[in-house]
Structure formats: structure tokens, C-alpha cells
Amino acid sequence: MDLTLKIWRQKDSKSKGGFKTYHVKDISPDASFLEMLDILNEELIHKGEMPVNFDNDCREGICGACSLYVNGRPHGPDSAITICQVHMRKFKDGSTVTIEPWRSRAFPVISDLMVDRSAFDRIIQAGGYISVSTGGVPDANEIPINKMKADEAMDAAACIGCGACVATCKNASAMLFVSAKVSQLALLPQGQIEAKRRVQKMVKQMDYEGFGNCTNTGACEAECPKEIKLTNIARMNREFIGAKLGAQKMKL
Amino acid sequence: MSNYTLHYSSITKKIIMSLVGLFLITFLFLHLGINLTLLEKFRPGGSTDTFNIAAHFMGTNIVIKVFEVVLFGGFLIHILFGLILQIQNWMARPARYKIEGWSHTSPFSKFMIHTGALIFIFLVIHLLDFYFKAKVFGDIGSVTIDGKEYHDMGALVLAKFQSIGFVIFYVVLFIFLGFHLHHAFQSAFQTLGLNHSKYTPFIKGLSTIISIILPVGYAIIPLVIYFNS
């Protein structure tokens, strides 16, 4: 396969970036999208140019490191899949592929296609964990948990924190990510102990980071590689209203 | 700058937007109910008396007058918070994409600020033409019904909708109101956390129904007036 690539190049966070066009030839349709970029980078290194920076780690769709906005879609043309899992056969031979970094004020570009997603880490640090002592490992059946609730919590926990929801949202809102992280804990008894403080702190941090507001458009759900549902956002809103109205005044 | 404007969190602002929005929808139904009494005129031997009495009641009843203030406040809050939220949303992505994404999701939700702005322009013109004309300018004829004198609002409305341009402006704006409501109603429930596997499909259906019956109901009146005179 021969392809024309339009790739965002930006030396560092301070410099002004721009698109640069590259041509790659004889790419196997069975190559992964990131392998195609590896091939391009090999060529660039041979030519003495700077290779294209892009985040990647596991390359099997579970780590959430890869973050490419390909032809107007985060993680490229396929649904429910990260870009590292997309194969070149999904593209037409001879076509032009535009590759951009995630665009959000809260995700500043570090270099080329690599963005700083530490805003997500700070949201998790604000409360996306359980800090009460829950003792040793309990017997599997000691705490009865509704199977449907357990499944919902598991589905929410599938979020890999890649940031595709922010990237695709017209408002660069992080509501789907934050709501998944709130939900996975709020649905289970161990998480409910700190639920009221957690949701308020995480939403406060989300707002502080400069993400946009949710307009219930649903683009995040449509583009999420892990198919996180909008119902999580409703659950977070519910948790938030409950905490604001029902909980005692607390210092966040 | 953080997204903590007015010391309200993003979710609190949205909750206020949704509650006020739902209140405004109830007003739209009330307003439509009163408007529809105008159609009485087009029955054989009909008049605008019912409409004039209803308009008089709306203008003088003490409970309604209190709610008038609440209503104006509601519009102001809805517009103000809508603007703040939208400006924050624009600021959240300072650098745009070269190829904008176009997910196959709720198209109307992407144009709420635009349909909202059009409805606001309509609202200003509409208030100047009718509400402030009756309240402030006062240059309205009067009519006597059962020995009591009323503002002849009915005649004012009938006169206004003789112009085809005015009728088209109203009808087109009602269509945009429908676009706004189509997303707004069901979105308000999602914002309030009222999502349920059984009831959400019903709410979404209701949202579509409201977005059709309200604009159609409103549009009937100028159309009937224009084509019957």
C-alpha cells in the first residue's frame, strides 16, 4: 500500500507546529497503524530527520497510551478499538491519512502527536481511589453484590483513560472519563464509603483542569474504544447532586 | 482560567440550565394554550373574546404577575448560563482540528447555541411587538366584552399576521425552536441524572413529540390567520 500522510509536527510544547506531508510506500495491509508509523520513522532516521513522536506502549489495546486523531476520528476509522489495534487494510491504497494529536486545552502538546494527559492523573489523585481500610481479602461471597451492578462496575472499569472522549467531544469535555472512574467505585460497597467526597473532589479537579462542559451529544460514547456508556455520566450527575444536597458540608 | 466561574461547578451550572429549561417548556405549553383560543375567531360566528379575556387574566392576575418575574428571570439565567457554558466550551479547545470529527450522534445538540441565539432574537422582536406594546407603549385598541373593557390583543395579533414576511419569520423560528427542544428536553433529564433503562427511551420519544407538537401548534396560528383573511 502507498499512502500520503499529513502529520502534525511540533518540536516541543513552546514551538508552533504545522502539518508536514510524507509518502510511505509498500506498506503491508496486515501492518498495524503504529507499525506503519514505525516504518516511516525508520526512513526519517535514515534520512537524518527527527522521527515522529507518538505515544504507545502495549500495542494490544489495553494500556491507553496510543492517542492519534486519524482522519477526524480518535483512534481512526474502526469502532471500539484503539489505534494500535487498527490494521492498514482499513485504509484505501493511495489515500491520504491526516494524523493529529488530541486537541484540548487540558492536554497540551508535548511534541508532534504526543500530548500531556497528566490532567487525568490529577483527577484520579483527587479521589479516584479507596483510602479506607478494607481489611484483608474477604471470602468471595461475604459481601453480596448484585450481578448487574458488578457487571456495570466492570464495564465502567474498562476505561483505559486514553482521552479519546475528550478528543472527540466538541467541547473537549472529560465527563465520560470522570464518570467512568466515579461509577466503577460508586457501584460497589467498598467504594460507597467515600463516594460523596470522591465525586465532588473529582468534578472540582476536572473543572480546574480546564475541560469543557458536557452537552449530552454522545460523541464520546460513539468513539470510546472501550464502549463506556453515557449512563455513567447520568450516574455521576446523580452522585454529584446527592453529594451536594445530601452530604454534610465538607472541605474538599 | 479554571472552569469554576461563578463558583459553580460545571455540573451545577448544567443542572441550573436543565431545571430552568424544563420550567421554560412548561411556559411554552401555557402560552400555546392561550394562543390556541385565538382559533375561536375562525369558527362561524366566533370572536377573539376568549383570547382577550385570557390575555387580560395573564396581564393582571397576581399569581401570574409573580410568575412573570420568575419567567423573565428564568430566561435570563438560561441565556446567561448557556453563554458561560458555551464560551468555556470554546475555550476548552484553543487549537482546532484540521479534519473536524463528525460523530453520528444527536445533530441538534451541536447547534444549541445557534438555535438558542435565533430564539433569543425572536424573543426580543416578539416581546417588542406584543408584550411591551401592551404593557409599556399602550397604543392598543380596546374592546368591550360583557360590559368590561379589555385591551384588544386579538386585533393586534390578527393585524400583525397579515404580512406574509412576518408569518414566514414566525414559522421558521418555530422550526428552530423545535430543533432546540428536540435535544433540550431529554438532555435535561440526563443532566439531572435521571437515566433509566426503562424510562429513558420514553423520555427521548417524548422529547421528539414535544419538539413537533409545540412548533406545529404555534405555527398553526399565524398560518390560519394569514390564509383566512
**Domains present along chain B, CATH in parentheses:** 5-91+109-227 (1.20.1300.10)
pLDDT at A143: 87
Query: Is B31 within 8 Å of A228 (Cβ atoms)?
Result: no
The answer to whether A237 faces chain B, any CB pair under 8 Å, is: yes
- Per-residue pLDDT of B97-131, as tens digits, reads 999 887 778 789 999 999 999 999 999 999 999 98
| Nearest neighbour of A72 by CB, restricted to B13, B14, B99 | B99
**Under 8 Å CB-to-CB from A224, ≥6 apart: which residues?**
A80, A159, A164, A165, A176
Pairwise CA distance, residues A117 & A115, whole Å:
6
Tell me the backbone φ, ψ of residue A106, rounded to 5 degrees: -80, -10
Q: Give yes or no for a contact between A123 and A178, defined as CB atoms under 8 angstroms apart.
A: yes
Q: What pLDDT, on a 0 to 100 scale, did the predictor assign at position B1? A: 44
Pick B133 or A144 by higher pLDDT: A144
Domain boundaries, chain A: 3-110, 117-246
Q: From CA A12, how far away is CA A167, in angstroms rounded?
A: 20
Report, as an integer, the average pLDDT of B22-47.
Answer: 94
How far, in Å, are A45, A53, A72, A82, A83 from residue A66 at the CA level? 21, 11, 16, 7, 7
Q: Which of these, B223, B216, B221, lies nearest to B35 by C-alpha position? A: B221
Q: Which of A105, A218, A240 sits opposite B105 (nearest CB)?
A: A218
Helices B112-126 and B62-91 cross at an angle (nearest 10°) of: 140
CB B223 within 8 A of CB B170: no
Pull the grid cell for residue A126. Answer: 483527587
Burial class (CB in 10 A: 0-12, 13-18, 19+), A104: buried
Chain A hits for B198, Cβ within 8 Å: none
Cβ-based contacts of B85 with chain A (< 8 Å): 213
Spell out the CATH class of A3-110.
Answer: alpha beta
Contact between A72 and B99 under an 8 Å Cβ cutoff? The reply is yes
- Give the whole-angstrom CA distance, residue A212 versus residue B11: 11
Supply the pLDDT for residue A180: 98
C-alpha to C-alpha distance for A100 and A23, rounded to whole angstroms: 16
CA distance A250 to A48: 58
Residue B215 and residue B182 in contact, taking contact as beta carbons nearer than 8 Å: no
- Decide: residue A143, CB within 10 A, 0-12 exposed, 13-18 middle, 19+ buried: exposed
Q: Which run of H or E residues covers position A68?
A: none
Amino acid at A190: Q
More confident residue, B65 or A134: B65
From first to last of its 252 residues, chain A has per-residue pLDDT tens of 999 999 999 999 999 999 999 999 999 999 999 999 999 999 999 999 999 999 999 999 999 999 999 999 999 999 999 999 999 999 999 999 999 999 999 999 999 999 999 999 999 999 999 998 877 888 888 889 999 999 999 999 999 999 999 999 999 999 999 999 999 999 999 899 999 999 999 999 999 999 999 999 999 999 999 999 999 999 999 999 999 999 998 888
A93 DSSP 8-state letter: T
Q: CA separation (Å) from A30 to A66, A87, A91, A129? A: 19, 6, 11, 40
Q: Which residues of B touch A216 (CB under 8 A)?
A: 106, 109, 183, 187, 190-191
Q: Which residues of A147-174 are buried (b: 16+ CB within 10 A; e: fewer)?
A: eeeeebbebbbebbbbbbbbbbbbbbbb
Nearest CA to A160 out of A62, A55, A82, A232 is that of A62
Closest CA to B191 of A240, A201, A178: A240
Cβ of residue B6 closer than 8 Å to a chain A Cβ: no
Name which of A202, A21, A175, A190 is nearest A97 in CA terms: A21
B9 touches chain A (CB under 8 A): yes
Compute the distance between CA of residue B2 and CA of residue B137 in angstroms, rounded to an integer.
45
What is the CATH architecture of A117-246?
Orthogonal Bundle (1.10)
Among B93, B98, B191, the residue with its CB nearest the CB of A104 is B93
Q: State whether A171 and B110 contact (CB < 8 Å).
A: no
| Alpha-carbon gap, residue A42 to A31, rounded angstroms | 15
Question: Is-contact B220 B194, C-beta < 8 A?
Answer: no
* Short-list B111, B101, B90, B89, CA closest to A102: B101
Helix B200-227 crosses helix B153-160 at what angle (to 10 degrees)? 80
**Confidence check: pLDDT of B198 > 60:** yes
pLDDT at residue B139, rounded to an integer: 72
Contact between B92 and A215 using a beta-carbon 8 Å cutoff: no
